[in-house]
Amino acid sequence: MIEVQGLTKRYGTNTAISDVSFTVQKGEVVGFLGPNGAGKSTTMRIIAGSLGASAGTAKVDGVDVAENAKKVQATLGYAPEVPPVYTNMTVRGFITFAARVKGVDDVNKATDLALSRVGLTDRAGSLIDHLSKGYRQRVGLAQALVHDPRVLVLDEPTSGLVPNQRIEIRELIRELAAGDRTVVLSTHVLGEIEAICNRVIVIDKGRIIKVGDIAELSGAGRVVKLELARPDGADVALAKVDGVLSVERDGNRLLVHTDRDVCEHVAAAAVSFGLLELDGKEKLEDVYRRLVPAGAKA
């Protein structure tokens, strides 16, 4: 449904993204994860047709965004980090306006449905200027949905929200992703990826550094955590296991770094040291910390 090939964006001598390539299949919910300034918003804006690329292509449902942005925008709903709203309009007035701009046939029906989907029916008569940030985010989602797009591109949809508002928006996005709608969610919040997405694309310094399924990345991986009753000498023994790269020890707890899934062999070697606990699952947070250098602001 989305195909990005060799996407590059330069601002003078500064390169925001470089040779970015990935695909998103119909019905997928994909997280675009990276620290602030990694190039997430630039990529999202190019896909949505609101920013031109310096090189490369972005296609939505087979249509090149640069060649026919209007056709792409009829298929795609885009909600940027800061909702594009007119604060002096009522909620309903603004969504009706958005429906007309997008060429919706039955404006009133589409407006009612969009407001219902995002839980804004009871706020339809409120001025946007009087809404909390959480409700403004809902208005931004409503304008992205009003033409019933098959693809949603959401750029940092929970940015700046308090925890309760963030949970509400996450649940809303999960509902919107049901069925065969394709969703790309840009964020720097790991919890959002784990709560909503089934695949993740990690970007840092304008380049894609990892693509994979959430379950795959959070499955048996490259870090094995151990707790031993008799840890003396265990670090030396475990370091000899084929596939182990290094072993860190802190009291009776050890962290074993590997280049593949060697949990079974590590466990066998640890038994003689009084193995109390073994955790061979690498969490998404562990993967992210390994991929993105320390000091990058998330």
Question: How far is residue 212's CA from residue 203's CA, in Å, rounded to a whole number?
Answer: 12
CA distance 249 to 239: 11
- What is the average pLDDT across 143-163? 89
Question: From residue 56, how far is each of 31, 59, 153 by CA, in Å?
Answer: 21, 10, 19
The full set of domains in the chain, from first to last, is 2-216 (3.40.50.300), 220-282 (3.30.70.100)
**Pick from 67, 6, 38, 69: nearest CA to 155:** 38
Mean pLDDT for the stretch of residues 68-80: 92
Taking phi over 0 as left and psi of -120 to 50 as alpha, with beta for the rest, 49 belongs to left
Determine the pLDDT at residue 298.
Answer: 47
- Confidence band, pLDDT 50/70/90 cuts, at residue 286: low
pLDDT of residue 139: 94
- Residue 178: is its pLDDT beyond 70? yes
Averaged over 87-112, what is the pLDDT? Answer: 96
